[in-house]
Amino acid sequence: MITKEALRQIVTQQKAEGFEIGGTVRRDVMDEVLKWFNDNRVLILTGVRRSGKSTILKQLIHEKEKYCYVNFEDERFIEFKAQDFEQLNEVLVEIYGNPKLYFFDEVQNIEKFEVFIRRLQDQGKKVVITGSNASLLSKEFGTRLTGRYKPFEIYPFSFAEYLKFKKVNPEKNWPYLTEKRVKLIKLFKEYLENGGMPEYLKNKDKEYIKTVYENILYRDVIARYEIRRQKILKELVNILSANISSTFTYNALKTSLGLANSITVKEYISYLNNSFLFFELQKFEFSIKKQLNAPKKIYIIDPAFSQVIGFNFSTNRGRLLENIVFIELKRRNKETYYYADKGECDFLIKEGTKISEAIQVCYTLEKNNKEREINGLIEAMNKFKLQEGTIITYEQEEEIESDGKNIKIIPAFKWLLKL
């Protein structure tokens, strides 16, 4: 239990600290989130730690009135229990004056939080919450608030947001102006190396990103799932980070880790997925059974983490480029698979029941890889009856016709910015 006076002190102090957003980047997701404020559903902002969820919450506060705010990451909430929510609500009404909007940061730290949120919703209040664990939020809300919440996944800065951070506002004609094009390529190189974690971009302090990584590993995975074999988990993370954009099987990882069965590997990877550190990509198969049994590809949330988990940028630029394209496809809410038969195609986009797009990613198209990359793309295009395909490169651009198909070769910066 926590006293009412202690709650009053916490809420008052958090309010006094203010919701300053000066110098922050207005996130692209803001307009979409604001659309849903007239809906009665709970809005949930989920995503990896330090990706900007709390800043978005503060940006939303600046757009609204009659709100209240609580950050449950505050260590003074350690003794807070579900039965304390009524006391907290009394304090919020006292300090904020009958709020209509409730903004709760990292509320999943409190057991059975969803019961209180359901009550607020039944009272006609609008609730917006953030959380750093996909599984916990979906599980709790799936039982208590079926169909009564709207989730939004928050990612580190997109390249467009990175340019806002750098105070660069590209125009449609920039790719065709030599100096502007060179500038965009230079900025994209920085983005490819440093990623889009907002605070890390301000200080470039590897110790900061290492701390974020350790918080994800220890608090969102090891502590939350009560993992005892920590050494195995850390070895798995090292293997995955060294093989981003590559295929893997649970059995192969089981052997590498010296485990007796692959169930542990599968569980650990699901925990890493739920913490938003890694993502799996499935192979496209018409048979669900074949799809489940096929090798998967692995991607990491942001290049910044590769700098503290032992990934070598200089020798793996192509993999990082593919990784950035994958995360952007997730950000755009695309249903994505990879294709492999005689050849390989990095990404297939599915809309409804049909494959609508095929995308190949290649850092540089050269004499020794051009035929392989184009043939893999065309094989996928033939398979799914597509007339156009895309190859995303670091900076090359042209349009070619091959085997009666139209292929657009486009630099990543242009594709990311939709220029």
DSSP string, 204-270: --HHHHHHHHHHIIIIIIIITTT-S-HHHHHHHHHHHHHTTTSEE-HHHHHHHHT-S-SHHHHHHHH
Please report the pLDDT score of residue 148 as a whole number.
Answer: 86
Residues (pLDDT < 50) of the chain are none
The answer to whether the CB of 213 falls within 8 A of the CB of 308 is yes
The answer to whether the CB of 153 falls within 8 A of the CB of 46 is yes
Q: Which residues of 259-291 are buried (b: 16+ CB within 10 A; e: fewer)?
A: beebebbeebbebbebbbbbbebebbeeeeeee
pTM: 0.95
Please report the pLDDT score of residue 311 as a whole number.
Answer: 60
pLDDT, one tens digit per residue, over 341-366 is: 999 999 999 999 999 999 999 999 99
pLDDT, one tens digit per residue, over 46-85 is: 999 999 999 999 999 999 999 999 999 999 999 999 999 9
Please report the pLDDT score of residue 314 as a whole number.
Answer: 55
Please report the pLDDT score of residue 1 as a whole number.
Answer: 82
Please report the pLDDT score of residue 326 as a whole number.
Answer: 98
* Domains of the chain listed by start with CATH number: 4-154 (3.40.50.300), 162-417 (no CATH)
Whole-number percent of the chain with pLDDT over 90: 88
Question: Is residue 116 classed exposed, middle or buried when 0-12, 13-18 and 19+ CB atoms within 10 A define those classes?
Answer: buried
Please report the pLDDT score of residue 170 as a whole number.
Answer: 96
Please report the pLDDT score of residue 308 as a whole number.
Answer: 83
Please report the pLDDT score of residue 315 as a whole number.
Answer: 58
